[in-house]
Amino acid sequence: MRSKHNSSGRSSTDRKKSPSASVHTLAIDIGGTGLKASVLNPEGEMVTERVRVETPHPCPPEVMLETLSKLVAPLPAYSRVSVGFPGVVRKGKIITAHNLGEDAWKGFDLADALTRQLGKPAHVLNDAEMQGYGAMKGEGVELVITLGTGVGSALFEDGQLAPHLEIAHHPFRKGETYEEQLGIKALRKIGKKRWNRRLQRAIKALRVLTNFDHLYLGGGNASKVHFELPPEITIISNESGMKGGIWLWREHRSTK
């Protein structure tokens, strides 16, 4: 069983067995519009500013690998790699990649490819789930919704990651999905005011669906939320997507 996290996001097991000070983690956040990377120390803190480039379009796996290699080349040394990917990921393999080119990515083993490309062991997880690792407190049911090019989601209970649900592509309203109603295309089409009203409706629906104790709103468009939020809803920084990289490795360790 996975160890519980305390309010700082750190488990009692982690406190007793701190990783070596020499172990640094390269955290990569793959987005539909931008690729970001940073190096984390053993406490999950960034030791360098994030580097960023635009996501190439089209972006099949070989283009992604080449672009990431150039992106991370100037960063400090690291021992392992954590990657957040915008789609369904199972055991390092890509199942869906709606905003990067579905056909080229389906079944691609990104974890193995990055391990060979960068020469370091790599873990790959859905990007919203990796952001959740960096934000959650490990108490009750915690839902993460990322608002960017598309819509991402992650669900945790008492610090444990639930099986991935593609909430973004589930019907929401007027015959459209959450992503069609709240993604970047919808935001640009209808403007911030109407988009905020839609988001409020979505939060009500997600509250009924998950009975969350806390909801975290992340992603590049979370900064455009302009309505008053109750105490159980928090806007989180995009840095959570980086910092979650350290916890991804700890979760993998605790399940072995």
In 3-state terms, what secondary structure has residue 25? strand
Domains contained in the chain, number: 1
**178: which 2 tokens?**
């959450």
Ranges of residues in the chain with a pLDDT under 50 are 1-20, 254-256
Q: What is the CATH number of the domain that holds 237?
A: 3.30.420.40
What is the amino acid identity at position 134? G
Could you tell me where the DSSP H helices lie in the chain?
A: 12-16, 61-72, 102-105, 110-118, 127-135, 178-182, 184-210, 239-254
Coil, helix or strand at residue 217: strand
**Which pLDDT score, from 0 to 100, does residue 230 have?**
96
Q: Report which of 250, 255, 241 is spatially closest to residue 34, judged by C-alpha positions.
A: 241
**Helix ranges restricted to H, 122-238:** 127-135, 178-182, 184-210
DSSP state, 50? -
| Residue-wise pLDDT tens digits, 34-74 | 999 999 998 888 898 899 999 998 899 999 999 999 999 99
Residues 6+ apart with CB under 8 A from 255: 2
Question: What is the pLDDT at residue 251?
Answer: 64
Give me the phi and psi of 24, to 5 degrees please: -115, 150
Listed in sequence order, the residues at least 6 apart from 205 whose beta carbon sits closer than 8 Å to its beta carbon are 172
Q: Specify the DSSP class assigned to residue 4.
A: P
The Cα–Cα gap between 63 and 78 comes to 23
Looking at residue 123, its pLDDT comes to 95
The domain of 161 spans 1-256
Give the alpha-carbon dihedral of 45, 219, 145, 159, to 10 degrees: 0
- What's the confidence (pLDDT) of residue 15? 35
Strand partners, 155: 143
* Amino acid found at 102: E
pLDDT of residue 249: 83
Q: Which of 1, 22, 26, 238 is nearest to 135 (CA)?
A: 238
Residue 245: the pLDDT is 85
Output phi, psi for 2, to 5 deg. Answer: -70, 145
**Phi/psi of residue 107, each to 5°?**
85, 0
**Rounded Cα–Cα distance for residues 118 and 69 (Å):** 7
To the nearest 10°, the Cα dihedral for 32, 58, 88, 126?
-40
The per-residue pLDDT for range 191-221, each reduced to its tens digit, is 999 999 999 999 999 999 999 999 999 998 9
Helix (H) or strand (E) holding 143: strand 141-147
CB 115 within 8 A of CB 123: no
